[in-house]
Structure 1
Amino acid sequence: MAIVVIALVVLVAVAVLGGAHWYVWRRLVRDTTRAWGPARVTGTAVLIAGPLLMIAALAAERGGAPFWLQRALGWPGFLWMALAIYLLLAVLAGELLRPLLRRFVERRGRVEAAVADKPSPEEPSPQPLAVPSRRLFVSRVVGGAAAAAAVGTVGYGTYGVLRGPSVKRITVPLAKLPRSAHGFRIAVVSDIHLGPVLGRGFAQRVVDTINSTQPDLIAVVGDLVDGSVKNLGPAAAPLAQLRARHGSFFVTGNHEYFSGAEEWLEEVRTLGIHTLENARTELPGFDLAGVNDLQGESEGQGPDFGKALGDRDTTRACVLLAHQPVQIHEAVKHGVDLQLSGHTHGGQLWPGNFIAAAANPTVAGLERYGDTELYVSRGAGAWGPPTRVGAPSDITVVELASKQA
């Protein structure tokens, strides 16, 4: 039964993917060319190769293909994923522009025809645009604008990721925080997603940005990698340079469990980062706790709030590292003062923020749930396409404030 369901899901996905690409091909290639010349052949080839590369890139990453193959397929395949989304959106938007432009061209054609009926003896009569030519002209204008908008959007969004995350700063007052801990700064980084596309150079930019904020503590809130220690150990090596007065701490995200969580936890420790596996540590002024990601349940290593928080002194403030925002409900039950999360990427590719909002209590930013504050970072990197639209990457410096100060 499970195999049948999976097969049906795959068939539906292929049908949707194929239908979307056929629609884009029809508007951008067939409607803008007269026959099977070089332009139509080239456009058709691109719109066939693009989705095939995208599927191959996903299969190579999830299937554990040789890393050189993952890297070779990653850039074109994942970039096409983003480009296909915005080509489709741009072509759909073009449907609104098309009748307006057609009406304008037809009106101009009638004016030209009227002028042609009264030729000047001194000038040749202008030839009105034929109906087929009008349609081709409209299709080319709309199609060209759609393609330019999509390419420009993806290009700018990719540049935004590759140049590295920006720094955000927020202040979070905590009622239980003592005056002595007022102003304590935590650099929160999540969703770096080192993998076939984002490698060692990107990790170095993230590390340099974090260190430039001179935080008291660094919190790495999951989804560090997309791949094995064997393939990505060298890419993660710059994390050994992280510097903070009270050290760096790490909790797993769902992607760690796709990448060999036990090996990565050991690797993170060798880089000098403390792991919080359903555990906590006492810091001056507050407790810092961390729980495993929900995906760990598939390996018997899921979150255990009782183990991490059950016997603590509840008169002390508590900051919890938990990758997914949905873990906030357990945090509220256990009297956590502040939960720091990631996972959503802020939606990463608009309008993905609406999808993310349907699955998460908070997509990005600071919100309050009962007596617990939840802060969700948009993340430093990107999964799949190294592209963000409407959800810029960030590293957040969370400054804790004492209400007694």
Structure 2
Amino acid sequence: MATTEAVPGAAVRRRSLLRPLVFAATITLVLALLFGVPWWSLVMAGNQWPGVVQVLGTVVFGLALVVFPVTMFLGHGRGVDWAARTGDTILGAVWILFVWALAGDLLRLALLAGGVDDPVRSRVAAASTAVVALGLGIWGYREAMRIPRVRRVEVRIPRLGAGLDGLRVVLLTDTHYGPIDRAAWSRGVTEVVNRLDADIVAHTGDIADGTVAQRTGQAAPLADVRARLARVYVTGNHEYFGEADGWLGHMRTLGWEPLHNRHLVVERGGDRLVVAGVDDRTAAGSGLEGHRADHALALDGADPQLPVLLLAHQPKQIDAAVTHGVDLQLSGHTHGGQIWPFHYLVRVDQPVVQGLTRHGARTQLFTSRGTGFWGPPFRVFAPSEITELTLRAGE
């Protein structure tokens, strides 16, 4: 009786062939929904617009659908800034339209239940969607491009010495210097930070999208940031899309202390605080030698009796902070969702979207909504922030 042996590696080869097909199918479905839902709601459905309106609307959505992946590839794959600006703006606009087209469809159902017939029913829903989306787009753009407001938070740390009571830490994160030249914005952020007269200024990563050479001008104002005790920085995941070592070195030339799995100790009024930092959790997969989130290395040699302030880009890194007895972790990464209701998807990946939370008996986590923005130049119901944290001693 003949037997058939499985060819070694055949299953692996089949899976490797399937992955790009599954990925392509997923992307196609997502794009079809993102562009198709608002197209149907605004242009087609039961609106009964004149033929020329339907043709023009279809052409606009069709061109956007074709241009979007091309500009995203050129912009974020090849580093072409004009393409990135175009693709990012289309992404933000179509997301806002998609969300509010769904809301418009709910309005259409409500009008149907109320006995309103087409085309009035669908035209009211389409007009409402267009007005709300346009208003939120304009407002969201202004929110993204403005100098962030200061968010003030008080954090009580039982192990903090009396001499450090009232220590002020200013947190910047996710500045994302990128395809839109925001050098003037960066100078404005520095001016706000300096008015706060902080003891420590921290930057928890995603400093830029691009190389140091591309974003030198936008990052330059960071050299003028003032702090009484320390200016400290850790990498975010976007540094590993560009040149993490380059940004670590450049921040050092700007006068900041890169906490590349290391710590320093600050002292005031006879009491001391360990300020530590770890690489982003994606660093280990970057292929860069010596890059990984290593809490043990970061705290190596630190006095275990001293309170610890830890910089770690992602809230998801909190479990290791709890294990290593950290008192307060500062993070960013989430952008607070950036464009509502994206924060629900962020929450699937991260334990916290924004704000101060407690984890375990000792450890607290503060997650910033971010100082800048990534990609789409919009912020909707997720305002940017410069955070001033005042540390308080005692229970």
> Does residue 63 of structure 2 align to residue 49 of structure 1?
yes
Contact kept, 8 Å, 1:86 with 1:150, in 2: the verdict is yes
Give the counterpart of 1:152 among 135, 138, 156: 135
Report how far residue 375 of structure 1 moved: 0.6
For 2:261, the equivalent position in structure 1 comes to 278
Contact kept, 8 Å, 2:140 with 2:380, in 1: the verdict is yes
Tell me the secondary structure at the aligned position of residue 390 of structure 2.
strand
1:329-351 CA-partner distances (Å, limit 9, x unpaired) = 11111111111111111111111
Tell me the secondary structure at the aligned position of residue 27 of structure 2.
helix
Mapped to 2, the partners of 1:364 and 1:321 lie a distance apart of: 15
Give the 3 Å change call, closer, same or farther, for CA 2–206 of structure 1 in structure 2.
farther
Mapped to 2, the partners of 1:368 and 1:90 lie a distance apart of: 35
Tell me the secondary structure at the aligned position of residue 372 of structure 2.
coil
Report how far residue 314 of structure 1 moved: 0.9
Report how far residue 179 of structure 1 moved: 0.9
Mapped to 2, the partners of 1:273 and 1:394 lie a distance apart of: 21
> Does residue 329 of structure 2 align to residue 346 of structure 1?
no
> Does residue 155 of structure 2 align to residue 172 of structure 1?
yes
Report how far residue 8 of structure 1 moved: 1.3
> Does residue 354 of structure 2 align to residue 367 of structure 1?
no
Tell me the secondary structure at the aligned position of residue 138 of structure 1.
helix
For 1:120, the equivalent position in structure 2 comes to none
Kindly report which structure 2 residues correspond to 1:212-231, keeping only aligned pairs within 5 A, or say none: 212-231=195-214
Report how far residue 246 of structure 1 moved: 1.5
Give the 3 Å change call, closer, same or farther, for CA 177–136 of structure 1 in structure 2.
same
Amino acid paired to 1:372: T
For 1:381, the equivalent position in structure 2 comes to 372
> Does residue 225 of structure 2 align to residue 242 of structure 1?
yes
Tell me the secondary structure at the aligned position of residue 135 of structure 1.
coil
TM-score (norm 2): 0.89
Larger Rg belongs to: 1
Tell me the secondary structure at the aligned position of residue 239 of structure 2.
helix
Identity of aligned residues (%): 35
Mapped to 1, the partners of 2:113 and 2:293 lie a distance apart of: 61
Amino acid paired to 1:343: H
> Does residue 184 of structure 2 align to residue 201 of structure 1?
yes
Report how far residue 60 of structure 1 moved: 2.2
Give the counterpart of 1:266 among 238, 244, 249: 249
Mapped to 2, the partners of 1:199 and 1:91 lie a distance apart of: 32
For 1:84, the equivalent position in structure 2 comes to 94
Contact kept, 8 Å, 1:53 with 1:73, in 2: the verdict is no
Give the 3 Å change call, closer, same or farther, for CA 323–34 of structure 1 in structure 2.
closer
Tell me the secondary structure at the aligned position of residue 51 of structure 2.
coil
Mapped to 2, the partners of 1:271 and 1:308 lie a distance apart of: 22
Report how far residue 53 of structure 1 moved: 3.5
Give the counterpart of 1:27 among 41, 50, 55: 41
Superposition misfits of 4+ residues, deviation over 4 angstroms: 102-106
Give the 3 Å change call, closer, same or farther, for CA 277–18 of structure 1 in structure 2.
same
Report how far residue 257 of structure 1 moved: 0.5
Mapped to 2, the partners of 1:162 and 1:169 lie a distance apart of: 21
Report how far residue 164 of structure 1 moved: 1.8
Amino acid paired to 1:361: P
Give the 3 Å change call, closer, same or farther, for CA 324–3 of structure 1 in structure 2.
farther
For 2:4, the equivalent position in structure 1 comes to none
Mapped to 1, the partners of 2:321 and 2:205 lie a distance apart of: 17
Give the counterpart of 2:314 among 320, 324, 327: 324
Mapped to 1, the partners of 2:99 and 2:87 lie a distance apart of: 19
Contact kept, 8 Å, 1:170 with 1:397, in 2: the verdict is yes
Contact kept, 8 Å, 2:358 with 2:365, in 1: the verdict is yes
Mapped to 1, the partners of 2:17 and 2:329 lie a distance apart of: 38
Tell me the secondary structure at the aligned position of residue 204 of structure 1.
helix
How many residues end up aligned between the 2 structures? 372
Report how far residue 198 of structure 1 moved: 5.1
Give the 3 Å change call, closer, same or farther, for CA 204–175 of structure 1 in structure 2.
same
Alpha-carbon RMSD: 1.8
1:70-120 CA-partner distances (Å, limit 9, x unpaired) = 2x23333222212212212222222222244356675xxxxxxxxxxxxxx
Mapped to 1, the partners of 2:214 and 2:242 lie a distance apart of: 10
TM-score (norm 1): 0.87
Contact kept, 8 Å, 2:338 with 2:373, in 1: the verdict is yes
Give the counterpart of 1:2 among 16, 40, 44: 16
Mapped to 2, the partners of 1:313 and 1:16 lie a distance apart of: 51
Mapped to 2, the partners of 1:196 and 1:364 lie a distance apart of: 26
Amino acid paired to 1:327: Q
1:315-337 CA-partner distances (Å, limit 9, x unpaired) = 11110101011111111111111
Q: Which runs of 5+ in 2 are unaligned?
A: 1-14
Mapped to 2, the partners of 1:141 and 1:309 lie a distance apart of: 61
> Does residue 392 of structure 2 align to residue 401 of structure 1?
yes
For 1:355, the equivalent position in structure 2 comes to 345
For 2:6, the equivalent position in structure 1 comes to none
For 2:79, the equivalent position in structure 1 comes to 65
Contact kept, 8 Å, 2:202 with 2:231, in 1: the verdict is yes
